[in-house]
Amino acid sequence: MRKVVFYIAASLDGYIASPDGSVDWLPAPPAGEDYGYAELLATVDATLLGRTSYEQVLTFGEWPYPTLTNYVFTRNPPTEAAHPSVAFVTEEPAEFVGRLRQEAGKTIWLIGGSTLAAPLIAAGLVDELMLFVVPQLLGAGIPLWRQQTHSQPLRLLRSHTWPDRMTLLHYSLNGLT
């Protein structure tokens, strides 16, 4: 069975974006550091994004995941052409991801956001959480756990703090890893 990893950064007060949806508050990694991003990408062949996260990624310039299969969950798929690696999904996320996990392949990266992550976590479909805590308080914004409605036990797999104070908290969510 394929593994789903939720790899995301949040401010210390739990926000993944500013109130306007921007992520310009995220620090640039120090020279020669990527916080394990390349290591994660080497294990991934698919991504999961909500429509808002997808539109945010589009503002960064050229589509950054052309070699991956990218599933964007939306009630209203855009009419404009997307990158050929992008597929729009209108069905319930838990049903779709449950089937996707059964297919042959590598790790599935849940990019975000909170509206997509909550039902997948509630359904037990997210195996690991790699939470990068940015040492900054935003005070307001888009919360990481916007729709979390149940208790979820976690098992810490590892933690790491870099010299720039960025901290990784890497958890197992369902005991499969």
Percentage of the chain lying above the pLDDT 90 cut: 76
d(CA 72, CA 10): 21
- Residue 175: pLDDT over 70: no
- Whether residue 115 contacts residue 93, with contact meaning beta carbons closer than 8 Å, is answered with no
Fold of the domain spanning 4-27+44-172: Dihydrofolate Reductase, subunit A (3.40.430)
Domain ranges of the chain: 4-27+44-172
Q: State pLDDT tens for residues 97-156.
A: 999 999 999 999 999 888 899 899 989 999 999 999 999 999 999 999 876 666 778 999
173, burial (CB in 10 Å: exposed 0-12, middle 13-18, buried 19+)? buried
| pTM above threshold 0.95 | no
